Structure 1
Amino acid sequence: MQAIRFTLIAALAAFAASAVAAHAGPITLTFSHGTPTTHPEHVAALQFARRVEERTHGQIKFAIFPAGQLGSENEVLEKVRLGALDMAASTQNYLIKYEKAFAVITMPYVFDNYAHAHRVLDGPAMAWLAPLAKKQGFVMLSNWEWGFRNLTNNQRPINQPGDVRGLKIRVPPVLGLEATMQALGAQISKISFKDLYAALSQGRVDGQENPLNVIYYNKLYEVQKHLALTRHVYYNQVHLMGAKSWARLTPAQQTIVREESKAAGDGARKAIIAEEDELIAKMAAAGVKVTRPDPQPFRAMMEPAHQKIKLLAGEENARKFLNMVADERRP
């Protein structure tokens, strides 16, 4: 499988190189993302590709590779940075390895709701972070959706912070998420996402944390008894291009790509947010017990997590971000 993937990426890199030589004619850009084809993000990717092709009169086409076909998100982003792939939609945490300032977005319990998160990330945070990403070889086109993260487990309902203590929770290898669960007394397990379903069903871990759409579309609820709507960390997808691929486009084409990226991202946001109640109801109907704990006691325990994230991102970066959060808060 690894050899097949390497061969596919090598072929795409050769195709990209030949397209540069023939830049006056139509080009086909490669677009990788990690969601299944049933997910609203894939629907957004299809809309984006269709509209750009229409508006450029076929001068720009896309080859879309969903469901992580071209490798892990770390692998894909590095290929995008190097110009072997053109474009990706990836959660912002994967940019931390290139620019530590992105770690501030993983701070728990800083956003009041979706609108608050969107105001910050589309406005002052985008103006600040996009130039930093550009220096690392990425052009941030727009923010798409991923969602507030919630906690599931097989041991007990979560109604207060103490209910998390002692649970063995799988988290991605992201310091902000690890620190959040550790602040609540959980034991951290770093199982890969592709092995998560099996690990939950076999009892190797008690639970995991993810946005509702991830829990539902990847069927994790099938092997979990309890869902707590903790909404502890907000995650968004970043739609981005490699700077090398971006330079192949004319200014007019760049404008179209940016506009259609935002339109597709707005659509994904609406779809993901609108379906959350429906997904909760479907999981409850399947037998999952749902709790809605008061966030305030959880928020009160997050200072250790915030301090760890500040050390990673830098105190000045954290202060700048938290000021943005405060400035965009509404009564």
Structure 2
Amino acid sequence: MTTFTKRDFLAGSAALAGGAIAMPSVLRAQATVLRWGEMLPTTHPQVQMVERIAKQVKEKSSGRIDIQAFPAGQLGSGKDMMESVASGALTMTTDGAAALGSFLPQLSVVEAPYLWRDAAHMAKVAKAPVFTQMNAELEKKRGMRMAAVTYYGKRHLTTGSKAVKSVADVAGLKLRVPPVDTFRAMVEAWGAKATPVNFNELYLALSQGAVDGQENPLPTIHSAKLQEVQKHLILTGHIITPRLVIVNGDFWKGLKDADRSLLEAAIAEGVAWQDAELASQEGSLVATLKAAGMSVTEPDLASFSKPVLATLPQQFEGKWGKGTWDALAAL
């Protein structure tokens, strides 16, 4: 896959925008190009999902719709790409609900720790009235809409040198978190030091000891090769994470109905494949990571959940809206 930097992308976008006026209409009509940026590496099922969607859309549209994928943080950080989607410089990306909360604060509840019972419970959020309302507000205020909810996996803790059997063992450890307030609050409730690091800088931060540990789903740990720089896998399962497919609102509204329906169908099929693939990988990756040299611990789960549930829902009630946590938990 061609390496493509954020600078190249922005320069190319500007050139395309400037040249569109002089381009003959027959050429302009040849293809609708969608640029889809991703933070994850090409080995992750989320990126493979994008490639499957692109292939299906190209075939079904006879080449009229061309989705170009830019994985592995080629176009910048997750926040960079979400801002580009909001402005229209980028068509689509995927990111976590908590990260998208920087654009619409109440959305971060969808990725709150200890909220969802399982993946099926989390999947119900896409049809919940509160989610429909959030989507409408996101489009109105920030020019983006959520086209789909995907399953990203159950998040677990890893550490470099310290074995962890209960929350007391993480006291004082520097744990990497995404630059998201709810993640910081969770780690601080555990008694650890929350240290924000962008995902594309995480491997280096762990290898150099800038942070002692991190938390992510098993497929992400494996695809990013974090087992090379972390010795201990602690099966905390503290967050069941959705990732949201995000699209520029004006682009979406500007599509012909038939093209929008084609994209919706391809996205739905891609998401179904990705969700099943991730669930399948989760079933085997503990053994894979253990074989790669990681020690695997099943810790005292209550010791991790208790301090978080005692503080976090109340702490963020003003941001999420009164009763939102309870409404989602009851789905």
Q: Same fold by TM (over 0.5)?
A: yes
The secondary structure found in structure 1 opposite 2:254 is coil
* 1:181 pairs with one of 174, 184, 187: 187
Matched, 1:84 2:85: no
Task: Give the aligned partner of residue 275 of structure 2.
Answer: 269
Deviation at 1:203?
2.5
- Output one character per residue of 1:186-229: Cα deviation in whole Å (capped at 9) or x when no partner: 11222333332233223332211111111111111111111111
Task: Give the aligned partner of residue 42 of structure 1.
Answer: 47
- Judge conservation of contact 1:33–1:68 (CA < 8 Å) in 2: yes
AA in 1 matched with 2:104: E
Deviation at 1:324?
2.5
Matches of residues 252-267 of structure 1 in structure 2 within 5 Å?
Answer: 252-267=258-273
User: What is the CA–CA distance in structure 1 between the aligned matches of 2:244 and 2:182, rounded to whole Å?
Assistant: 18
Matched, 1:280 2:286: yes
- Judge conservation of contact 1:152–1:225 (CA < 8 Å) in 2: yes
User: Structure 1 unaligned runs (5+)?
Assistant: none
Matched, 1:59 2:64: yes
The secondary structure found in structure 1 opposite 2:50 is helix
AA in 2 matched with 1:325: A
CA distance change for structure 1 residues 13 and 130 in 2, over 3 Å: closer, same or farther? farther
AA in 2 matched with 1:96: G
User: What is the CA–CA distance in structure 1 between the aligned matches of 2:83 and 2:288, rounded to whole Å?
Assistant: 37
Deviation at 1:268?
0.7
Deviation at 1:230?
0.7
Deviation at 1:25?
4.1
Q: Give the % identical residues.
A: 32
AA in 2 matched with 1:52: V
CA distance change for structure 1 residues 14 and 310 in 2, over 3 Å: closer, same or farther? farther
Deviation at 1:132?
1.8
The alignment covers a number of residue pairs equal to 322
User: What is the CA–CA distance in structure 1 between the aligned matches of 2:111 and 2:126, rounded to whole Å?
Assistant: 12
User: What is the CA–CA distance in structure 2 between the aligned matches of 1:85 and 1:153, rounded to whole Å?
Assistant: 35
Matched, 1:199 2:205: yes
User: What is the CA–CA distance in structure 2 between the aligned matches of 1:108 and 1:162, rounded to whole Å?
Assistant: 18
Deviation at 1:139?
2.2
Deviation at 1:85?
1.3
User: What is the CA–CA distance in structure 2 between the aligned matches of 1:16 and 1:268, rounded to whole Å?
Assistant: 33
User: What is the CA–CA distance in structure 2 between the aligned matches of 1:26 and 1:10, rounded to whole Å?
Assistant: 20
CA distance change for structure 1 residues 17 and 269 in 2, over 3 Å: closer, same or farther? farther
User: Structure 2 unaligned runs (5+)?
Assistant: none
* 1:126 pairs with one of 124, 127, 131: 131
Matched, 1:110 2:111: no
The secondary structure found in structure 2 opposite 1:68 is coil
Deviation at 1:125?
4.7
CA distance change for structure 1 residues 210 and 155 in 2, over 3 Å: closer, same or farther? same
- Stretch moving more, 143-152 or 20-29: 20-29
Matched, 1:246 2:247: no
Matched, 1:220 2:226: yes
- Output one character per residue of 1:13-40: Cα deviation in whole Å (capped at 9) or x when no partner: 4436766985654211111111111111
User: What is the CA–CA distance in structure 1 between the aligned matches of 2:325 and 2:264, rounded to whole Å?
Assistant: 24
User: What is the CA–CA distance in structure 2 between the aligned matches of 1:191 and 1:26, rounded to whole Å?
Assistant: 38
**TM-score, normalisation: structure 1:** 0.90
- Judge conservation of contact 2:122–2:242 (CA < 8 Å) in 1: no
* 1:310 pairs with one of 306, 313, 317: 317
Task: Give the aligned partner of residue 7 of structure 2.
Answer: 6
AA in 1 matched with 2:261: T
- Judge conservation of contact 1:138–1:240 (CA < 8 Å) in 2: yes
Task: Give the aligned partner of residue 328 of structure 2.
Answer: 324
AA in 2 matched with 1:35: L
- Judge conservation of contact 2:126–2:148 (CA < 8 Å) in 1: no
The secondary structure found in structure 1 opposite 2:242 is strand
- Judge conservation of contact 1:125–1:321 (CA < 8 Å) in 2: no
